[in-house]
Chain A
Amino acid sequence: MNIIESIRFIIPEIILLGFALAILVSSLFIRNRNLPGLFALAAVVAASLYLPQTQKTNPALFFNMLTGDSFSVFFKEICLFITGIVILISMGYKALNEDSMGEYYFLILNAAIAMLLAVSSDNLLMIYLSLEMLSLVSYILAAFLKHDPMSSEGALKYFLFGALSTGIMLYGISLVYGLFGTLDLSSISKAMAQGQVNALAAFILLILILAGLSFKCSLFPFHMWAPDAYQGAPTAVTAFISAGPKAVGFAVILRIFTKNFFPLYMDWSGLIALISIFTMTVGNVIAISQDNIKRMLAYSSIAQAGYMAIGFVAGSPLGMEGVLYYILAYALMNLGAFGCIILVSNSIKSDAIEDYAGLSKKDPASAFMLAVFLLSLAGIPPLAGFLGKFLVFAAAIQSKFILLAVAGVINSVIAAFYYMRVIKYMYLDEPKGIAAGPKSVPIQIALAIVITGVLIAGIYPSPFLNWIRASQSFFAQ
């Protein structure tokens, strides 16, 4: 497909870019808190209307740099959804500086562009570039409260870890070029299918690339940045970092390993299983002792990445379905949880778990929703998180990774303890301190959307599963 024809596949990215620039310029003249947010929201809605339709043939765009396959469309939908919800949440987040709202939404929209490009890249260089763009935007967003030392510290750690791990990944990519003479993923997988690859070289390469992507997904041992960055960043940005880049990281992992490096990957699935077990265990065990809810959710989201990795380890169609469903469910429930946290912190100005005491009496609706999201994260049926766990555990058992499945279920019991602890404070303890203030409308809209999603995806998941099945085309080939 030539360049002119290719352009219609990137209309969403162009729309987002146009709106982003318009917001940046107009913010020089108009100082308004919510206007840039509404603009950004309009951009996301418009972009999602112009998403390319799922196609039977996977069109190669821009000289094989991008692809328009159904897998990328699925992730583009998820990424736009995440961005939309994050924008709604940001509109009601009081801690953001009113003067810089224009830049804020400019950055968010740029992050969205980077995500859309990353999930549709079919070339290692393009993957690297779009991931780097996403990272750079994320660093700035994490440091957005520039007068808050926590925010700066978190962002600095995020940046240092990110620079290191993407450096490692870039080195891996250079080795790929040395071995295969190309960075085009489909050419590489053809060469690999012919089986003339040195096993040791291939292993090193796998490790190096995985290192870079593990950082994005906060997989062990590249998870250390997450707690500080999550705690320091403005909560709306935390919500974004916890959902967006993680979804993208898994999309790229799945595209590289499950689709293209599959024969290579199968030899080393045991290693990934270990990574998954460590990720879950480290995340869950450390989360128990946290007393700041953002930090606790940071560790929880590390653990959640471990569960997602189970489906990836299995490497089967069911495992793929499990990962995709889990990413969807995770995005819904994590965005919801952070949305509730913002609602609460807007009125009580605190993120300490202790200050959630008696929330069910002060603000029953927020407490109820937060409880639903936490129970879903804990994997209690019939919520979305349960089905996600169910699918990845099923995939593990089907592929005979029994130990991994056992580690997974033991971890979900450990996790239940700290999720229930928040619920205990909200429902079992007596309220103290300030009463809840007025609640922001955009956040309530966002929460209404995600809680509906969590309930429907849990109770009647068929439409979601059909959608996912249609979009994971890898194993059909």
Chain B
Amino acid sequence: MLSSYAFRKFKNKLFFFLCLICVVIAVVPLLSILFEVISRGASQLNLQFLTANALQGGIGPAIQGTLIMIGLTSLFGIPVGILSGVYLSEFGNNKYASGIRLVNNVLTQFPSIVIGITAFSLIVIYVTGSYSPLAGAVALSFILIPIVARTTEESLKLVPNSIREASLALGVHKWRTTLSVILPAAGSGLVTGTLIAVARIAGETAPLLFTILGNSFFFQGFNQPMDALPIRIFFDSRQPSAEIQAQAWGAALVLILIVLALNIGVRVASRGRFSR
């Protein structure tokens, strides 16, 4: 029979290993996913696959579509998100701003499929009358803007007040101070937050399902459905043909590379300013 003290020592060791095992268990799926995506997708990668359209067995339209989506969404969403964050941080000591902050927080928890439905009704029905990259960009912006607004506000709040005071004491207008002094000072935090948000929307599928719908062909105009990597993966995975399923893995590999590139970009950006 273990003495009380020996039992305590045993428990100490036991829980150390249990917690370690938790970490291992969590890492295994990650490694499996990476392994499967790389091994099943790599065989698909060749120039033909990356540039041809779906009828010719390629994912060119999907890659183009994802890039267009990232571009369109960022064009509109990033400035709006950042300026919202600037407002909340620099001018946000009132009831209106508190309300906006609350709404932003609620928005970040919205299920993305709900956003898809809203964008569908708003744009596809009321504005363009057809599936459209515009609708997709709107849907993704609905997700991007609250996230960027929040991370921008957090980054700006980290900038010490002494910098603001110094600039204002020199007679620089507040708007100039904000844009030329504070934003750059929050630099890498801003970039990090933005890149993470962009990486997130690059991988989103649900908002695109009802807005750009998917297409076998390259971009055909703002009134036509368009393809994107997440959609291609989703649809191809449901086809009975093993060949097409294999294409899904190839598309998955390309998507993961894009997402990882953005995430590593984040690491590089934050290493530049501080080392933790």
Partners in one complex: no
Residues of chain B touching chain A, judged by Cβ–Cβ distance below 8 Å, are: none
Residues of chain A touching chain B, judged by Cβ–Cβ distance below 8 Å, are: none
